[in-house]
Structure 1
């Protein structure tokens, strides 16, 4: 019995020994597998794994570039960019996270209290906020609101909603608001120019976006405190210095708006040019809009009428017709013209009053259509056309502004005698108010036609002599009589300064026929002895009773010209004013 028991115990011990060996072998094999895996991970696959980790947790983000400023000729900022925040969310945040963090994230996103706080801060409907956090969305990035104020962005961050992040961007601001709206235009949410100079010079202003590497968490959100490295620094856009004088821009805008309201007009435009360079010192339009907040603005209010809209210029053409005929020797300075109604191949040209017999000065002073027609018909059609073309009609001014109009000037080969006659008092062609102002540089600067520029320059290298200086001075002297008491534009006078200018009153074309609505126009220069400024004004459809250029546009000219000359410190040239100054 004892011997059998002993054998049984020995056999059991052998069985346990075998099991121990098997366990040891299995443990050893497992250990070797772990060692092999460690070698693989730590040695063989190191680069691959590091690359995979970087691809999942190290990302590249863009750094917005600062958009260049737009400044006036004196360095005053007209358009600036300020840092703002844009709010975005990762809709899949609570799906991507794991464990307690996922539960906490999903619980917080289900908490309407915080969602309501966010909706209130961003001024957005709660339902829209909820939709942005839809975990079933296939997006990992969605903007909630672009370009909010920095203080507001900080309040959004303080709410602490998971999946919500702020990215730094820039927002464009226009300190002068609607005063410079048509000229500057505006940018979109991506800070790209959409209208005006912002569009025209977008490539210069926008700069070059930079980039950097960052660390992201499991939800692909940037951990702001952990920038890995800078890849490329953003390059700020270049500043743009305009020919505009902000002071004159404000003055012109104020007076044009007041005139439009007073005469209950549909629209208006005004341009101020520097007579000796062609620089645009101010360019304003009505109606306008606020580029800082365009909500509710009409798209039709965005266009810069002074540059893009054309109209028949009316009697403002008469000084140019007189200048062309004088310079070509087709009329004489002392020539007289009978203003009795003129019949041209079955059609009549008439004046509003019987002016009797007029000399050239009287033709401009009384604005006789009959006499202007006779002067136009004295010139060969080709010569007449070439002169109009030489002062810029029928071609764009060349400033490169979006939508810049070229107007129209029919070819002389198709003119009838009547059409040639009507061209002398501004019917049958179309111009923009900028083109009209530019044509008068030839009268203001002794026969030199200037190019026009919205960028500051000291000289005009493209000026062309289109008239003799003697002819320009003669016509300019004649135009001074237009502003005298018995002329058509007495309300264009400016105390202390000699003014030369011309009115225009034009019937508007509607549905292919002339209507009973009018355009009121005035173009003038001062001081007439040595012009520094040219101002052209157009008022579209005045409806408060008066519609003549001398009664509607001329008073606006007077207020703007008087204020501009004083702001620029131009010395008065009227003899009476000079004598008063000398006596002091």
Structure 2
């Protein structure tokens, strides 16, 4: 009997059937194990910085250190713009949304109603950052943080504050919520004033909460300070005089510029209407405009001294030369030039032409001198030219030049029509006359030394004009409202009709009242230009409206700056009462 082999019935294992596959799988597993072990050793021993770096990316943050903006001061160090520390409160809505029981007390300290607060929070529930309130005073901000509401955080920032308020608003300007200059000096010198924020390294958890303040990576660098040329005391005076004039004559607007005739520094620049840069909630765009540098206008009779200077510079005219202005009108083609006041006998010398503000006399002189000569002198004193102040939005006005100068254009230019200037340019032109014909570069920044000036009008001509303009104020029939007790002053008034917007010609019963002058005329130090726009009550002539503003400001400024009087003879000495007239008050 044959023996049966039971082993043949037992199947062979896969490894026995396919030994090479089994060994391949085992080898692959071994290689993977070795690779994993090697990677663990590499990360923890050979390249431990990688894991640390990846961890740091999830926990180490760089928090900005705010840098305060540079301070703006007047020439004497009085602050005009300063940055004060404030707290900005922000929230993580994804966390704060779960703290509904704390919303009411949080809303109360934020100064908002609960409904508005909750609606805003729910609308941003999927976000991780919203501002709750920016730039709070530190005490109020700290009161909110003391509530320790989860999801509410604070940031240290700075807020710009303007101590002089509306008095210097047009010149200094203002910044936005991020302390970036938006207007005025704040804008034009933004790169100089702004600071460079620093960095602080901190550890935060996954919810952004501060765990540890590690180190300061870079220190904040504050902005540079800036000293302006204006004197805040004079600025207050200019602001007051202009405001009172606008109220008295119910005028639409106005501007004043005061210059140091030797250095070209702007000592005061005031405009109305003005605004409070510390509270711009209801700010009207029209009130933001620095009219002294941006608004242009026809200067009227205030240009006649410049035209007269051009005539004297030719050598063809002398101060005692006479012009027949009878009958007070002069017809040129379709146009008729008229004088407001008639000259006795119909004859005026050059000083009389300025004193009577004769358009006819000035036109006849201009015909003899020629348009190019007057144009050249006006251009030399700064009309139609940038002042170099670097103020944003400054206008240069318009000084026309013609290939062929017809009589109409020549006459109009001589008495201040057909060109446009700014208040600053008008003040600069009179500063040139006051500085013996030398034009100093203008500056809004305080200067440490007197700059070199360019002779643009012959010195003898400028001194002759100083004497003539003094007579315009002090002579019989002169602009007596511009007088300053104790001082000799010189200047010229002007009244210019306003052009009609969007059409040719001039508006009916719409004028600008002007006055420009300098003092003391024996040794000029200050030049002032005043422009009152659309006075509607009590008159509109420059000698009536603008001259008293010049007188009031110049009188206070000369005394404030301790400039010695040069006309003491006209001061009346008050007699003190004797002892017999004194009452016994025990």
TM-score (norm 1): 0.87
User: Which stretch of the first structure deviates more once superposed, 122-131 or 355-364?
Assistant: 122-131
Classify 1:57/1:557 alpha carbon distance in 2 versus 1 (closer, same or farther; 3 Å): same
Could you say what secondary structure the match of 1:413 adopts? coil
- The answer to whether structure 1 residue 326 and structure 2 residue 328 are counterparts is no
Alignment match, 1:58: 60
Provide the C-alpha distance between the structure 1 equivalents of 2:108 and 2:517, rounded to a whole number of angstroms: 55
Q: Does 1:299 align with 2:292?
A: no
Given the alignment of the two structures, is residue 339 of structure 1 paired with residue 325 of structure 2, yes or no?
yes
Counterpart of 1:239 in structure 2 is 225
Asked if structure 1 preserves the Cα contact closer than 8 Å seen for 2:423 and 2:531, the reply is yes
Residues of 2 paired with 1:564 and 1:485: CA distance?
Answer: 24
Q: Alpha-carbon deviation of 1:552?
A: 0.5
Residues 209-220 of structure 1 correspond to what in structure 2 (within 5 A)?
209-220=197-208
Equivalent residue in structure 2 for 1:175, among 163, 176, 184? 163
1:227 aligns with 2:213: yes
Partners of 2:365 and 2:241 in 1: CA distance:
36
Q: Which moved more, 1:476-485 or 1:121-130?
A: 121-130
In terms of mean alpha carbon deviation, does 337-346 or 435-444 score higher? 337-346
Gapped regions of structure 1 (runs ≥ 5):
1-33, 94-104
SS state at 1:373 partner: helix
In structure 2, the partner of 1:140 is 128
Deviation at 1:567, TM superposition (A): 0.4
Out of 464, 476, 491, the position equivalent to 2:481 is 491
* Structure 2 residues without counterparts, runs of 5 or longer: 1-35, 575-586
| Distance change >3 Å, CA 395–CA 213, structure 1 → 2 | same
For 2:349, the equivalent position in structure 1 comes to 359
Instruction: Please report how far the alpha carbon of residue 149 of structure 1 lies from its aligned counterpart in structure 2 after TM superposition.
Output: 0.5
C-alpha spacing 1:136/1:470, structure 2 compared with 1 (3 Å): closer
Match of 2:518 in 1: 525
Does residue 561 in structure 1 map to residue 554 in structure 2? yes
CA distance in 1, matches of 2:374, 2:422: 20
- Give 1:514's aligned residue: 506
Identify the residue that residue 89 of structure 1 maps to in structure 2: 91
1:451 and 1:460 in contact (8 A); partners too: no
Q: Distance in 2 between matches of 1:384 and 1:485?
A: 26
Match of residue 368, structure 1, among 331, 353, 358: 358
Specify the alignment match of 1:25 in structure 2. Answer: none
* TM, length-normalised to structure 2: 0.87
Q: 1:78 aligns with which of 74, 77, 80?
A: 80
How many angstroms apart in 2 are the aligned matches of 1:177 and 1:414? 50
Change (3 A) 1:334 1:164: same
- Residue number in structure 2 paired with 1:162: 150
Shift of 1:212: 1.4
SS in structure 2 of the partner of residue 159 of structure 1: coil
CA–CA distance in structure 2, aligned partners of residues 309 and 448 of structure 1: 26
Runs of 4+ in 1 over 6 A off after TM superposition: 34-41, 578-581
Shift in alpha-carbon separation, 1:122–1:200, aligned structure 2, 3 A? same
Looking at structure 2, the residues matched to 106 and 339 of structure 1 have their Cα atoms a distance apart, in angstroms, of 86
Structure 1 residues 467, 41: closer, same or farther in 2, change over 3 A? closer
Alpha-carbon distance in structure 1 between the residues aligned to 2:62 and 2:262: 53
Q: How does 1:382-401 map to 2 (within 5 A)?
A: 382-401=372-391
The SS at the match of 1:412 is coil
| Residue 383 of structure 1: how far off its partner (Å) | 2.0
Task: Give the superposed CA RMSD.
Answer: 2.2
Q: 1:92 & 1:346 partners in 2: Cα distance?
A: 79
1:4 maps to none
Residue-by-residue CA offset, 1:500-538 (whole Å, 9 max, x unaligned)? 000000101123321120000000111010011001100
Q: Deviations over 1:176-211 (max 9, x none)?
A: 100010000000011000000000000000021111
SS at 2:282 equivalent: coil
Q: Is residue 544 of structure 1 aligned with residue 534 of structure 2?
A: no
Which one is further off, 449-458 or 397-406? 449-458
State the partner residue of 2:22.
none
Q: Find the aligned partners of 2:452 and 2:200 in 1 and give their Cα distance.
A: 46
Change (3 A) 1:459 1:39: closer
Greater Cα offset, 52-61 or 232-241: 52-61
Once the two structures are TM-superposed, the CA of residue 110 in structure 1 deviates from its matched residue by 1.4
Q: Per-residue displacement from partner, 1:242-267 (whole Å, max 9, x unpaired)?
A: 11101000111011111111110100
Question: When the two structures are aligned, how many residues end up with a matched partner?
Answer: 533
Change (3 A) 1:106 1:343: closer
CA distance in 2: counterparts of 1:396 and 1:215, whole angstroms: 54
Matched residues in 1 for 2:449 and 2:371: separation? 34
Q: Which is further off, 59-68 or 328-337?
A: 328-337
